[in-house]
Amino acid sequence: MKLSLVLSEAFQGIRRNLATVISVILVTFVSLTFVGAAILLGAQLQRTSDYFQDRAKVDIYMCSEISDTDTCLDGVASDEQVAAVQDKLDSDVLAPLIDGVTFETQQEAHDSMLETFGDELAGLLTVEQTSAVYHVDLKDPDQTAVITDAFADVAGVEEVTDQLDYLEPIFRGLTIAAYVAVGIAAIMLFSAVLMIGTTIRISAITREREVEIMRFVGASNGTIRTPFVLEGVIAALIGGLLASGTLIAGVHFGVDGYLAREVTAVPWVDLTDTWYVIPAIILVGVVFAAISGSVASSRALRR
């Protein structure tokens, strides 16, 4: 059978069952949009995690005037206590784990906070009430516990914090969102498969006389089934293209146009990532449609 004739039969079937085909397109569109969103969320989660793990620091806060921990009973950390912390960081035990160390004096730490939170903080926290801090970059972010344990009970050290702990809620939220998107996508894809199968069975019933004529003239089962399978594939392809357009618009206006400008500290996914996702979701839609259409047409046309 010629390709033009196969396509003609497929489009004829689509016209006859237009309402059902539109339903298939919409269900496929929604499901593939969630599939693409899940892929992009996974990429965002990985990119954010890698970015901050490479840049996250362990902060060693020295005692200030308002520190009330057991290691700060003598008040503000003395020069000797600050030097002792530096010596410990330079020791043979910790030095191999450290990629770099930056020290902020009380004045520098206070200035940094004013720059971040605004001048209104100046009346609430004085320089003497601000902790001097060591910012420690680790070669392996998984070794933060070693630094934390090493300075847990050191005199003059108020607190040791891992910056990744502050980011954990963000990572957890992104992970949950990705799982939710995957779950919804799976449900919608299953619905699309059922819709495609139903559409093809309806199309086969309405064209039963044509099918019998084709069998009478000796057409093979494959030749008879191909137009029906194409109906589902075409509907899925249209749904995939609509989903692709939605993802492009979402990333362009929602991510590039808003999030990337408002939250500059996070490396966001962009349109380049979307162009990798689009072929994947279209392929998923077409493959699912072809498999569903093949099974449904085989059952509907069984003699």
Same domain, 106 and 215: no
| CATH number for the domain harbouring residue 108 | 3.30.70.3040
- Per the structure, the count of domains in the chain is 2
Domain boundary residue, one of 133, 148, 163: 163
Which pLDDT score is estimated for 7?
Answer: 62
Same-domain pairing of 72 and 180: no
Residues 6+ away with beta carbon under 8 Å from 227:
6, 7, 9, 10, 12, 13
Q: Are residues 67 and 83 in the same domain?
A: yes
Strand partners, 179: none
Edge-to-edge strand order for the sheet containing 57-62?
Answer: 98-104, 133-138, 57-62, 157-162
User: Do residues 119 and 61 share a domain?
Assistant: yes
| Residue 157 and residue 189 in one domain | no
Backbone angles phi, psi at 16, to 5 degrees: -70, -30
Report d(CA 16, CA 275) in Å as an integer. 34
Domain endpoint, select from 163, 190, 221: 163
Q: Are residues 97 and 33 in the same domain?
A: no
Q: Do 195 and 276 fall within a single domain?
A: yes
Provide the residue count of the chain.
Answer: 303
CA distance 259 to 171: 16
| Residues 131 and 85: beta-carbon distance below 8 Å | no
Indicate if 185 and 262 belong to the same structural domain: yes
Q: Are strands 133-138 and 98-104 parallel, antiparallel or unpaired?
A: antiparallel
Amino acid at 179: Y
| Cα distance between residue 288 and residue 235, in whole Å | 11
Cβ atoms of residues 206 and 17 within 8 Å:
yes
Question: Comparing C-alpha atoms, which of 49, 108, 90 is closest to residue 267?
Answer: 49
Q: State the first-to-last Cα distance of the chain, in angstroms, to the nearest integer.
A: 21
Question: Among 141, 163, 185, where does a domain finish?
Answer: 163
C-alpha–C-alpha distance, residues 243 and 226, integer Å: 25
Using CA atoms, how far apart are residues 67 and 60, in angstroms rounded to an integer? Answer: 13
Q: Do 199 and 291 belong together in one domain?
A: yes
Rounded Cα distance, 303 and 298, in Å: 10
What pLDDT is recorded for position 38?
A: 86
296 and 185 housed in the same domain: yes
pLDDT of res. 2: 59
The single-letter DSSP state of residue 255 is I
Nearest C-alpha neighbor of 233 from the set 299, 287, 185:
287
Domain extent for 112:
57-163
Task: Return the pLDDT at 27.
Answer: 85
Q: 61 and 48: one domain?
A: no
Give the pLDDT of residue 204: 66
Tens digits of pLDDT across the chain (303 residues) = 556 655 666 666 667 667 777 888 888 898 899 889 888 988 888 888 777 776 678 899 999 988 888 889 888 999 999 999 999 999 988 999 888 899 999 888 888 887 777 666 666 778 888 889 999 988 887 788 888 888 888 999 999 888 777 777 877 887 888 788 888 888 888 887 887 777 777 766 666 666 565 555 555 555 556 777 787 888 889 999 999 999 999 999 999 988 888 877 778 899 999 999 999 999 998 898 888 877 776 665 565
The answer on 146 and 232 residing in a single domain is no
Residue 111: CB atoms within 10 Å: 14
